[in-house]
Structures are given as C-alpha cells and as structure tokens.
Amino acid sequence: MDADVIVIGAGAAGIAAARKLMEAGKRVMVLEARDRLGGRVWTVEFSDVALDLGAAWVHGYERNPLSERARAAGVTLKPSDTVLLGADLALFAQDGRRWTKAEREALEEQFDKVMEALEDLAKTRAAQGLPDISIQQGFDELLKTNKLSEMEKYALRYKFNSAVEHEYSGAVEDMSLFHWDEDLTPQQLGEADALPEGGWWPILAPAARGLEVRLRHSVSRVEYGGHLVKVTCTIPSGVAVFTAPQVIITLPAGVLKANSVEFVPPLPDAKRAALQNIGVGVLNRLALKFPRKFWPDTDWLGYVSERKGFWAEWLDLSQHTGQPILIAFNAAEYGRAVEQLSDAEQVAQALKVLRVMFGAEVPEPEHYVITRWASDPFAYGSYTYLRPGGSGADRDVLAAPMDNKLFFAGEATSREYLSTVHGAWLSGERAAGEILEVKRKT
C-alpha cells in the first residue's frame, strides 16, 4: 500500500481534497499527468504580466469561499464584470461601424424578451410532460410566431454566443433548455466578479505546498475490484503502479468521456449515462500584446459577425495591467473550429477583425499566446454544461462514491457551483469529507 488515499489530478479539486486529508493525518499521494500543478487553472508569465489561460474570474468574489485564501496569499481581487453582468462594452458591426448606445440597449431589451419567452416555453413544456430540447430548438420554436429580419437574427446569435455560450462554454444547439442555467453562484455568492491580480494560481499554491505530488504520471487504468485500488500510470520511463484503499478521481469530464482511463470493472451504467448528459464545452483565448493601445477605454470589445462566435468577445487588460493587451475569446462551436488553425492563421484572423474595427493602422502584435483546450489530452475541453435531457441530478450521480473505494470530485460534479474553481474546490473538500466520514464510522 503506497498511501492511505490516492488523489488523481492536481487541479483545484485534487489540491483541496489532498490538503483536507493531509491535515486530518492521512498519507496522501497525488498523481498528476501534466508537468505542472493547477489543471485548468493555468497562470503564465506573458510579457511581464501574470496571465490566466484557464480559469480567470473569481465569481461572486465578495462571498466566494476562495476569496479568503486570496487575501491570505496576498492576492488582490480587482473588480471586473463580464459582459453578461453589464460591463462597459464597445460593440462593432461586421462592417466596422460602432453600435450606438441606443442600438445596444435595443438589442439587450430584445434579448431579454427572448430569454423570458424561452423560460416560459421551458415551463410550458415541462408542465405538459414534453421532453427537454436545446436552447436553439426553443429559439426556433419562437421564430415560428415571431418574424425577425436577418440583421436581428444574427444580432441575437451574437447575444446567445456572448451571454450563454461564453458563460457556459457549450453551443446553444446542445444545451438543455430546461436546466442550462442552474448555477447558483449569483444567487448565493453575489454577482460581482473580480480578476485576481497575479493570476489564479497564487491563490491555490499555498494549499499545494507540502503535498506529495507526482507530476507526469498519467493514469491509464484504475482497478477497484480487490481490497486495494490499483492505479496504473504512464510515466516518462515506462509504467508505475500504486495502491491505496481509497482513491479520489478528479479527472475532467472530458477525459472521462473520452475513456482515456480504463476502469476495471467498468463504471456503472448510471455514471456513464450521467456523463452522456453532461457536455464538455470550450472557451479558448488568444492574448495579444501590442506596442501601443489603439482601442477605446472599455472593459470589453464585441464583434457582431454573420458567423456566430467569430472573434466575438475581446477583454481589454490594459486597465488591469497597464499593458496594451487584448484577449480574444472564442467559445463553443467556433472555439473548437479555431483550434484547427495554425498560430499564424489565428493571429491573422484576429488582426483582420481588429482592423475592421479600428482601421489599417492596427499594428502587428509584439507577443501572443494561444490556448487549445479541446485538443488538450488532459482536459478535452474547458468546463461543463448540461445537454438536453440532462439535469443537476446527473452531477449528483457523477459525484456519488462507489463501494467506499472510489470518490469523485471536480467542477463537473458540482451541482450548485458548476463550471467554477470554487465549485471544483468545494467538491474536493466534499470528497475528502466523505472518506473521513467512512473512516470515522469504521
């Protein structure tokens, strides 16, 4: 036996679980496939600025359970609203014309009416015992009785992408109309968001200190039929095998859905069905450092294209870092499509859009960095959403322990705080607590 508990994955959930178990006196080993800690929390140095390439915002930061850890680590949380929460936005049409404030407000009003109608449609379908459908299918239903111009349609497609797909990472064509917005962060923690100065990793780093973590240990097989759970890893020198009475699985849902890890015996049908109902979305980013700032003072830039999601959202980091840095976000369908482009092609596309908005004088960037989360074999996506037919109950099923041997954590298992770092962290503490409760009872 190599440990009392093996934790698979050194992201927020894995670190939280391992820390709680270690503080309770357990001998814990953490196995991590990457050559770094953090998982989908990934802070890098970019042109003398700490830049988050994965999780970025601390949502509901005034009451977020990790805000105290940020303060203890000396990390300042700087208020920064997302587009969904009414942040300052400069919106541009496909021909480069900047939308007026009146046009933006009219779009917001129209979108609010559409979302209210979709909510009513969901309630009506549920009351009539009709099956769940996708958000897009619901919108198509509304279009049967509401005539819109082509301009209105693609403006609304922009809003669906910005307000729904960028927040939840999935395509509206594959998101549950009944349960897409079950996240309770705004109601329970508040709507105020913040960017951590220095990035997310410094908030988690203190909790990782002193843990026994084995990097570049990619788990390929978990056998839990015997007295001890046997975990097989691929390592640079070959294969390593470890055993423990209990194992916490914090693998991303994308990895579980890809069957990258073999479970012996296979995971039960209920868990596999839950994974089918949980979708894994994409939110990719391209960060560009320019020699000078050429855009207006604003939190966000928006681009309304005929193609949904085409370089639609840009975050102005200059007000947070003092550096002329823009981050372009691509989510859902286009977030996946953009991964097929080379670095040079992505940068060229982004510059073409910026030059439509600001003219031919937009300079070449000095530096750039690109993410490809859907292609990442240790994630296969950014975070999770619920597919049509899915519900929060699927997250509960995925989270449920098995035979007091396998325990599950990660943002995909968090029903209240889905798709967030705090959701992942709390799920890790929950899984550790389940193990400690088993030990107490025995």
The answer to whether residues 114 and 173 belong to one domain is yes
Say whether pLDDT at 83 is over 70. Answer: no
Q: Give the integer Cα–Cα distance in Å for 400 and 220.
A: 21
Question: DSSP class of residue 268?
Answer: P
The answer to whether residues 229 and 271 belong to one domain is yes
Helix, strand, or coil here: 186?
A: helix
- Cis amide prior to 252 (ω within 30 degrees): no
Q: What angle do CA 232, 238, 242 make, to 5 degrees?
A: 30
User: With contact defined as beta carbons under 8 Å apart, do 54 and 198 qualify?
Assistant: no
Final residue of a structural domain among 149, 170, 189:
189
Rg of the Cα trace of the chain? Answer: 22
- DSSP calls for 189-251: H-S--EEETT-SHHHHHHHHTT-EEETT-EEEEEE-SSSSEEEEEEETTEEEEEEESEEEE--
The answer to whether residues 110 and 185 belong to one domain is yes
Q: Give the integer Cα–Cα distance in Å for 15 and 207.
A: 7
Tokens of 154: 């693609």
Does pTM surpass 0.85? yes
Residue bearing tokens 């009506």: 124
Final residue of a structural domain among 143, 163, 189:
189
Note whether residue 90 is domain-resident: no
Question: DSSP class of residue 379?
Answer: T
Final residue of a structural domain among 166, 189, 212:
189
Note whether residue 129 is domain-resident: yes
Domain limits for position 181: 104-189
The larger pLDDT score, comparing residue 211 to residue 147, is at 211
The answer to whether residues 143 and 261 belong to one domain is no
The answer to whether residues 274 and 392 belong to one domain is yes
User: With contact defined as beta carbons under 8 Å apart, do 248 and 407 qualify?
Assistant: yes
Q: What is the pLDDT of residues 219-245, one digit of tens each?
A: 999 999 999 999 999 999 999 999 999
Say whether pLDDT at 439 is over 70. Answer: no
Query: Residue 82: which pLDDT band, with cuts at 50, 70 and 90?
Result: low
Note whether residue 367 is domain-resident: no
Tokens of 16: 């939280």
Q: What is the pLDDT of residues 317-355, one digit of tens each?
A: 998 899 999 999 999 999 999 999 999 999 999 999 999
Helix, strand, or coil here: 51?
A: strand
Q: Give the integer Cα–Cα distance in Å for 331 and 348.
A: 18
- List alpha helices for 245-331, DSSP H: 253-257, 269-277, 318-321
The answer to whether residues 176 and 226 belong to one domain is no
The answer to whether residues 398 and 431 belong to one domain is yes
Calculate the alpha carbon distances from 10 to 247, 422, 424, 429 in Å.
13, 15, 11, 13
Tokens of 89: 């936005």
The answer to whether residues 179 and 213 belong to one domain is no
The answer to whether residues 159 and 203 belong to one domain is no
Note whether residue 88 is domain-resident: no
Note whether residue 428 is domain-resident: yes
Q: Give the integer Cα–Cα distance in Å for 303 and 97.
A: 10
Tokens of 416: 């209240």
Could you give the percent of the chain with pLDDT greater than 70?
Answer: 98
CA 146 to chain centre: 34
Note whether residue 239 is domain-resident: yes
Note whether residue 71 is domain-resident: no
Q: Give the integer Cα–Cα distance in Å for 326 and 323.
A: 9
Note whether residue 328 is domain-resident: no
The answer to whether residues 32 and 148 belong to one domain is no
Count of domains for the chain: 2
Strands 283-289 and 49-52: unpaired
Q: Which of 95, 98, 49, 86 is nearest to 295 (CA)?
A: 98
Q: In sequence order, what E strands does 9-95 have? A: 28-31, 43-46, 49-52, 77-79, 89-93
The answer to whether residues 437 and 391 belong to one domain is yes
Q: What is the pLDDT of residues 134-165, one digit of tens each?
A: 999 999 999 988 888 888 888 999 999 999 99
Say whether pLDDT at 187 is over 90. Answer: no
Q: Give the integer Cα–Cα distance in Å for 273 and 278.
A: 9
Query: Residue 441: which pLDDT band, with cuts at 50, 70 and 90?
Result: low
User: With contact defined as beta carbons under 8 Å apart, do 370 and 283 qualify?
Assistant: no
Tokens of 243: 């055993």
The answer to whether residues 14 and 138 belong to one domain is no
| CATH number of the domain to which 430 belongs | 3.50.50.60
